[in-house]
Every structure is written in C-alpha cells, then in structure tokens.
C-alpha cells in the first residue's frame, strides 16, 4: 500500500513512473469518453511544463552569465554533473549538449526524469540554500558545456535580474511542487502508516515541504523485503531511506532533518546581524525584511516552519490574498522568499535561553550551541492559558 500525504493513494505506479519529458499515462482531466466520468486531477507537469522547464533565450543566457559563480565547464558523455545528496550543488545552465536528470524511484533504484537542453538550467529550491540535491544529473550522449551558479550567485541572479529572476524562481518552486507530487523521489518511511512515530515524521517532512512516501511495512512487498534484508526489528521501525540512500532507524525529527540537510550546521559562537526565534508568519516576515536589506539572518524554530499558520486550511484575512490562501501555501511562499534573500532557516532547533547580561546578545540553542547576534527578534507566538476562574467568580457564574 502506498500512503502519501496522509491518504492512501490508489494511483497506478505506472503513471507515477512515467518519464516526465515524455507522454504521461495519466488520464486527461476531463475524459468524456469514459462513461463513468471519473475525474483525475492533472499533475503539475501536465499543466505547467513550460514554466517548470523554461528555455532561456540567447539574450537571457547572456544576462545570466554575468552572475555565474565560475567559468563554463565541459563534461564528457555520461559524466556525473551532480549527484543525489551532494551538498552545495550549483544550478547548471546548459549552453551546449544536454544534462540528463535522474531521481531515486522508491526503493528500486533511479529513473530518468528529463533532459535539460541548451538554455535550460538544473536545480530546485534546495539550490537556493545549497542544501543537498534530491536529483542527479549526467552529461548526455554528446557531453555538455554548462555554466555553474552556486547558491549565493543564484540568489544574486534572482535579485539582480527582475524578469529572468522571476522565470528561474518560479521554475525552482514548481519543480519542488512537482517533486512533492512525485513522492517516490523523496524520503521513504517504512512502517505502519498509523504508527504515531510514522505520522510525526511524515507531518514534519510535509510541513517542511519535502517529498515523502510511506510504505506499509506489513503489506508493501518492497518495504517488507527491505526490512527482512536489513534485519530490522519492530522496535527499530520506522525505517527511513533518505534520497541519497542513507538508512535511519527510528530517528528523531532532528536526526532526520540533519540527514536531509534541512537543519543547517550552526557552529558554536556563530555571529549574525539578526537572529530570530520562531519561524511562524511573524518570524519569516522579519527574516525576509532583514535579509532583503543585506543583513545576515538566522531563524530558529523548535518545531518546523509555519507556526500556527501552517496548520490553517484557509486564511481569508491575510493582506494581498483576496481569494484566501492555505496556511501551507503561505508558509511555503514565505520560506522561499526568505531563503531567496539568504536567510538561514534552522529547524527543528529550540532556543533554550536568551542572555542579555554581557555586551553581546546570545541565544543558547538546545544542545548547548551559542549564537551571537547584534539584534534578536522574539517571534515565538502566543501560548494560550485556559480560563481558571477564582472561587468568587465560579460562585457568581453558578448563581
Ligand atoms: C488552525 C488555525 C487557523 C488559523 N486561521 C487564521 C486565520 O484565518 N486568520 C488569522 O488571522 N489567523 C489565523 N490563525 C492564527 C494565526 O495562525 C496566528 O495568529 C499566527 O500564526 C501567529 O504568528 P506568529 O509568527 O506570531 O506565531 P506562531 O505562528 O505561533 O509561530 C511561533 C513559532 O515559534 C516557535 N517557537 C516558540 N518558542 C520557541 C523557542 N523557544 N525556540 C524555537 N522556536 C520557538 C514555535 O514552534 C512556532 O513555530 C489560525 C491559527 C490556527 C491554529
């Protein structure tokens, strides 16, 4: 049984395994030839393919070159350009030949996704923050020549070229959305779907915007076989298979987030201009404004990005969204905007203590790491107390 996003999916594996660049085997959105008129929502790849894989014009390629992080590089036919799990993988703009993109496919290896041709670029939102790549790229059969853009240079391109930046940013975001739709490319959780540990880790990944898939350890043949092969006991479940192939047995959220590169490594004594406690709407807004002014920013949240707003199915009163927006969509946008300006988002990292006694402001993070910052923003939200009427009030209420 495949469980994705908390619901059991009966989607045929063959449709999810269709090669993205080729024809999809998903039925059309409204197939009137089908007498029962079953409506299957079209995937983002069908509806927005041109925006997911845009081709830059020669003029746009010239504009982009000014922001490159290094000289163009030639890759031999079949040579690895980037691999799954590699940290700091640049986004590559192809100027000759092709890069073939592959992804992990569940537990059964890698699969071809698409080819980036001349004027197309690799990467998704992880490239903005230098986080580990979820896909791999290889030079095509004639090799390729490509220009690298590491995270700081990619962010500079976004900010420095309005029209080009919009095309690239939209593509990176939509590629992540498509990755989330294609859950098999992400983290695989093997365990009982109703197990609280599985649910907790899946909610964490989903709220962090990471593709994930649960394989039922008792009914899914691939999941069962893996557990038997590795000799995993029931107490060690859930078993987590990260996109780079790393196995984790019954991990905490922090261990999982560290393995996936969601949690940045913050050195003891690290210095920032602005440190923010809380990654709800208030904390993320502060991060966007501070980072867009060129300040170095770190945001800590003990749980995940989004705060309370991340749990809201629809927010109708947020300025600028007259038709309403779901909490997750709002938080996703805010997160992408913050990393576009270079803010570091550190989750799950609880702040234990604020020390204002010395000349410098210091935050102490769970585990003992200290962070020094010129300014600290506390955006830790509200906690609600239950009304506890005094005996006098209780008597009045009872009268
Ligand atoms: C289901 C639901 C629906 C809602 N719908 C609406 C709506 O339609 N319209 C509306 O206006 N409002 C709505 N709200 C309220 C809205 O979500 C909150 O007002 C808003 O999220 C507050 O934002 P915030 O950033 O101040 O705090 P929060 O969203 O509470 O975020 C605070 C963050 O700080 C973190 N944190 C706290 N202490 C620490 C620490 N020591 N170290 C690290 N991290 C810490 C928490 O984990 C949390 O993520 C809704 C709330 C919920 C729960």
CATH of the domain at 216: 3.40.30.10
Regarding whether 199 and 126 lie in a shared domain, the answer is: no
CA distance 141 to 353: 56
The 10s digit of each residue's pLDDT in 68-100 is 999 999 999 999 999 999 999 999 999 999 999
Regarding whether 283 and 201 lie in a shared domain, the answer is: no
Residue 33 domain-assigned (yes or no): no
Question: In the prediction, which pLDDT does 1 show?
Answer: 40
Q: How many domains does the chain have?
A: 3
Quick one: 182 exposed, middle or buried, by C-beta within 10 A (0-12, 13-18, 19+)?
Answer: buried
Regarding whether 355 and 251 lie in a shared domain, the answer is: no
Regarding whether 297 and 193 lie in a shared domain, the answer is: no
Residue of 257, 280, 315, 346 to test ligand 1 pocket, by largest number of atoms within 8 Å of CB: 280
Q: Give the 3-state secondary structure of residue 109.
A: coil
Residues of the domain holding 282: 270-378
The closest alpha carbon to 238, from 186, 188, 190, belongs to: 190
Residue 397 domain-assigned (yes or no): no
Residue 224 domain-assigned (yes or no): yes
CA distance 27 to 113: 19
Average pLDDT score over residue span 342-350: 97
- Evaluate the omega torsion of the peptide bond into residue 238 and state whether it is cis, within 30 degrees of 0: yes
**Is the per-residue pLDDT at 217 higher than 50?**
yes
* Whole-number percent of the chain with pLDDT over 70: 87
CA 11 to centroid of ligand 1, rounded, Å: 34
Average pLDDT score over residue span 277-281: 97
pLDDT-derived band at 41, boundaries 50, 70, 90: low
Question: In the prediction, which pLDDT does 45 show?
Answer: 80
Question: In the prediction, which pLDDT does 307 show?
Answer: 95
Question: In the prediction, which pLDDT does 3 show?
Answer: 41
Regarding whether 137 and 205 lie in a shared domain, the answer is: no
Question: In the prediction, which pLDDT does 118 show?
Answer: 98
**Is the per-residue pLDDT at 280 higher than 80?**
yes
**Is the per-residue pLDDT at 223 higher than 60?**
yes
Regarding whether 68 and 154 lie in a shared domain, the answer is: yes
Stretch among 49-58, 235-244, 245-254, 389-398 having the lowest mean pLDDT: 389-398
- Both ends of the chain: CA-CA distance in Å? 58
Ligand 1 close to Cβ of residue 147 (< 6 A):
no
pLDDT-derived band at 237, boundaries 50, 70, 90: very high
The 10s digit of each residue's pLDDT in 240-269 is 999 888 999 999 999 999 999 999 999 999
CA distance readout (Å), 392 to 183, 389, 396:
57, 8, 6
**Is the per-residue pLDDT at 134 higher than 80?**
yes
**Could you tell me which residue, 38 or 292, shows the higher pLDDT?**
292
**Is the per-residue pLDDT at 15 higher than 60?**
no
CA 381 to centroid of ligand 1, rounded, Å: 5
The 10s digit of each residue's pLDDT in 319-337 is 999 999 999 999 999 999 9
**Is the per-residue pLDDT at 38 higher than 60?**
no
CA 224 to centroid of ligand 1, rounded, Å: 39
**Is the per-residue pLDDT at 145 higher than 50?**
yes
CA 10 to centroid of ligand 1, rounded, Å: 34
Cβ(349)–Cβ(258) under 8 Å? no
Task: Kindly give, in sequence order, each residue whose CB lies less than 8 Å from that of residue 391, ignoring residues fewer than 6 positions away.
Answer: none
Question: In the prediction, which pLDDT does 106 show?
Answer: 80
Residue 231 domain-assigned (yes or no): yes
Average pLDDT score over residue span 229-244: 92
**Is the per-residue pLDDT at 182 higher than 90?**
no
Question: In the prediction, which pLDDT does 393 show?
Answer: 67
Regarding whether 287 and 356 lie in a shared domain, the answer is: yes
Of ligand 1's listed atoms, the one at least distance from the Cα of 314 is: 8
**Is the per-residue pLDDT at 24 higher than 90?**
no
The 10s digit of each residue's pLDDT in 109-130 is 788 989 999 999 999 999 999 9
CA 112 to centroid of ligand 1, rounded, Å: 40
**Could you tell me which residue, 16 or 126, shows the higher pLDDT?**
126
CA-proximal residue: ligand 1, atom 4 (nearest): 312
* Domain boundary residue, one of 260, 283, 316: 260
**Is the per-residue pLDDT at 298 higher than 70?**
yes
Average pLDDT score over residue span 289-305: 97
- Evaluate the omega torsion of the peptide bond into residue 348 and state whether it is cis, within 30 degrees of 0: yes
Regarding whether 195 and 99 lie in a shared domain, the answer is: no
The 10s digit of each residue's pLDDT in 355-388 is 999 889 999 999 999 999 999 999 999 888 887 7
Question: In the prediction, which pLDDT does 31 show?
Answer: 35
Regarding whether 82 and 152 lie in a shared domain, the answer is: yes
Residue 387 domain-assigned (yes or no): no
Residue 235 domain-assigned (yes or no): yes
Ligand 1 close to Cβ of residue 366 (< 6 A):
no
Question: In the prediction, which pLDDT does 391 show?
Answer: 65
Ligand 1 close to Cβ of residue 331 (< 6 A):
no
Regarding whether 256 and 277 lie in a shared domain, the answer is: no
Mean pLDDT over the full length of the chain:
87
Regarding whether 225 and 306 lie in a shared domain, the answer is: no
Quick one: 108 exposed, middle or buried, by C-beta within 10 A (0-12, 13-18, 19+)?
Answer: exposed
CATH classification of the domain holding 117? 2.60.120.10
- Report the alpha-carbon angle 270-276-281, nearest 5: 150
Ligand 1 close to Cβ of residue 315 (< 6 A):
yes
pLDDT-derived band at 395, boundaries 50, 70, 90: low
pLDDT-derived band at 341, boundaries 50, 70, 90: very high
Residue 399 domain-assigned (yes or no): no
Average pLDDT score over residue span 37-53: 75
DSSP class of 36: T
Ligand 1 close to Cβ of residue 351 (< 6 A):
yes
Average pLDDT score over residue span 150-174: 95
């Amino acid at each position: 049984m495949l469980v994705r996003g908390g619901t059991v999916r009966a989607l045929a594996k063959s449709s999810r395994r269709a090669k993205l660049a080729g024809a999809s085997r998903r039925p059309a959105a409204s197939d009137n030839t089908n007498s029962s008129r079953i409506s299957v929502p079209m995937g983002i790849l069908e509806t927005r393919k041109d925006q997911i894989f845009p081709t830059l014009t020669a003029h746009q390629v010239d504009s982009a070159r000014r922001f490159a992080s290094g000289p163009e590089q030639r890759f031999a036919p079949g040579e690895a350009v980037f691999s799954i799990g590699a940290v700091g993988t640049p986004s590559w703009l192809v100027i000759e030949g092709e890069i073939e993109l592959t992804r992990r496919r569940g537990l059964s290896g890698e699969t071809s996704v698409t080819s980036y041709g001349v004027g197309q670029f690799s990467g998704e939102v992880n490239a903005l923050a230098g986080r580990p790549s979820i896909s791999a790229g290889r030079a095509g059969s004639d090799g390729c020549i490509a220009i690298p853009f590491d995270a700081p240079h990619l962010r500079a391109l976004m900010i420095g070229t309005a029209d080009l930046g919009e095309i690239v940013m939209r593509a990176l975001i939509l590629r992540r959305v498509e990755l989330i739709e294609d859950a098999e490319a992400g983290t695989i959780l093997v365990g009982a779907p109703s197990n609280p540990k599985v649910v907790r880790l899946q909610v964490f990944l989903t709220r962090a915007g990471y593709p994930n898939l649960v394989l039922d350890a008792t009914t899914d043949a691939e999941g069962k076989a893996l557990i038997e092969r590795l000799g995993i006991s029931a107490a060690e479940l859930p078993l987590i298979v990260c996109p780079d192939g790393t196995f984790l047995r019954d991990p905490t959220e922090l261990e999982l987030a560290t393995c996936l590169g969601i949690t940045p490594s913050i050195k003891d004594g690290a210095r920032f201009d602005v440190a923010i406690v809380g990654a709800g709407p208030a904390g993320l807004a502060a991060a966007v404004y501070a980072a867009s002014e060129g300040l170095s920013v770190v945001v800590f949240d003990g749980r995940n990005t989004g705060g309370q707003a991340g749990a809201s199915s629809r927010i109708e009163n947020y300025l600028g969204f007259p038709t309403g927006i779901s909490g997750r969509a709002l938080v996703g946008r805010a997160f992408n905007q913050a990393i576009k300006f270079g803010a570091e988002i550190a989750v799950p990292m609880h702040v234990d203590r604020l020390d204002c006694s010395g000349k410098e402001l210091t935050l102490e993070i769970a585990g003992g790491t200290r962070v020094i910052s010129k300014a600290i923003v506390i955006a830790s939200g509200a906690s609600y107390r239950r009304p506890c009427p005094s005996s006098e009030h209780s008597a009045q209420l009872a009268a």
